[in-house]
Amino acid sequence: MRNRTTDDPSPADLVLTGGRIHTMDSAGGVAEAIAVRAGRIARVGTADEVAPLIGRRTRVVRLRGGSVLPGINDSHLHGVWLGTMWPHLLMDQLAGGDHHRQDGPPQARLETSADRRRAILRTAELLASLGITSYTEPGLGPGEDDGPSGCFGSAALGDYADLAREGLLTARVTALMLFGELDGASSLSGLTEGLRAFTPPADVPGRFRVAGVKIFADGIPPMRTAWTDEPYGDGTHGGLLVEGGDAGEREAALIAMIDAAHAAGHQIGVHATGSRTTRVVAEAFAAVLNRRPGNPGRHYVIHGDLLRAETLATMAAAGIGLNTQAEIAVTTEDMLTAALGPGVLPEAWPLRDALAAGVPLCLSSDAPVLTPDWRAGVAAAVTRRGLDGRVRGEAQRLTVAQALRAYTITPAWQDGAETWKGSLEPGKVADLCVLEADPLETEPAALPQVPVRLTMLNGRIVYEG
């Protein structure tokens, strides 16, 4: 590849050499060595090109066939909740797998700042061991201040900001505010009053940022609570969670909520799963982006279980992202077809179609719904193989390279941060995930067994295996 250097010839703090450096740059370039200096990437190139930056005090790591990725970005992960649940996961209970994880007692409610900080730091340690250096905490706010778990209230935003300021947070965190209930009811007045009355903590530059608003539009297809064009077996179509007297009022309220959050300058992530909901949300995003281009947007559909081709086209044209979980696709497809029939399968988790249409695609764990292990997420996106060994949605399989972009540079876009993180290019922050093997040369099903050797955040090693 092209020799890309910065002018500064002074010695690097760290050089990783003799492996495969997957840069995730726009050309998808692969290099042999990378140098880190003062928290930034100093040089990326061949071993010979990087060698001049090795000084007497430079630590040199021989990769020996290993690889380097940009630090992984899990763009939808409930950090406080994960810290209280781990190693228990919700999906294990649903799928009946991993029985040893099911027998934990229900967690006590998080009451104090100390409780929440402990949960956040437990998550941070776990994520560092997985090579994850950024995540989005999708929904903390006044709507859940009295919630039963204490995991989603507004106080956690302050705890995150404190931990970031104290230098204790080993991942960069983007948060979305929640003015309704998690997976529950919300209203236009709740959102507009919340936006007026609630002041989130100030950004901690590069480390913690409250970027916008999370809205729950509908439920999920297996529960017949997703709002669909196609009828469920009992003839119903589900509906929106947003308050309103009838379906028309609820739709109008949802659109008005999107308009209000956009007008206030926020990024918006909307939980939307049914084919009707995803279309209404995509059209509302497109319309408000067109009407009020001052807000840079980067709005996105979360989950998007059912997405029609027209909806994907609307999203691509307006620059609306899709944030989804391939493991939910392979784990719940049978429940989806039980609820809506096999006729919906062509529009179920159409990840390859989304990329082909030009939709910015982010893959995420939704942990603790699923494991925060992104290697399992990549394997699911590439194989579409469930725990029972069956393949679901074969035509929507991604390549490993596509899946890795959905965990690195595209979520950096979602964070509004693609100019300074998400790829391995000189000048960008040194957030790295170092693996013992090359994921592009690994049998996809075996990806979860590739060990993480080292995790670096901003030039600092936060995990070493």
Where do contacts with Zn ion occur on this chain (CB under 5 A)?
366
Bridge partners (DSSP) listed for residue 303: 272
Q: Of 182 and 316, which has the nearer Cβ to Zn ion?
A: 182
Shortest distance, position 303 Cβ to Zn ion, whole Å: 8
User: Cα–Cα–Cα angle for 156, 159, 165, nearest 5°?
Assistant: 145
Side-chain-facing half-sphere of 427: CA atoms under 13 Å: 8
Q: Of 242 and 316, which has the nearer Cβ to Zn ion?
A: 242
Q: Give the integer Cα–Cα distance in Å for 448 and 130.
A: 10
| b/e burial code for range 235-251 (CB count within 10 A of at least 16 → b) | eebbbbbbbbeeeeebb
Shortest distance, position 75 Cβ to Zn ion, whole Å: 11
Q: Of 76 and 352, which has the nearer Cβ to Zn ion?
A: 76
Is residue 211 within 8 A of residue 176, CB to CB? The reply is yes
Shortest distance, position 202 Cβ to Zn ion, whole Å: 25
Q: Of 259 and 366, which has the nearer Cβ to Zn ion?
A: 366
3-state secondary structure of 50: helix
- Concatenating the DSSP letter of every residue in 139-159 gives EESGGGTT-SSSSSSTHHHHH
Q: Of 70 and 138, which has the nearer Cβ to Zn ion?
A: 138
Comparing every residue's Cβ against Zn ion, the nearest one is: 366
Is residue 270 within 8 A of residue 253, CB to CB? The reply is no
Shortest distance, position 272 Cβ to Zn ion, whole Å: 12
Q: Is 291 exposed, middle or buried (0-12, 13-18, 19+ CB in 10 A)?
A: exposed
Shortest distance, position 78 Cβ to Zn ion, whole Å: 6
Shortest distance, position 227 Cβ to Zn ion, whole Å: 18
Please report which residue ranges of 341-440 form alpha helices under DSSP H.
351-357, 374-383, 400-405, 409-414
Q: Of 25 and 366, which has the nearer Cβ to Zn ion?
A: 366
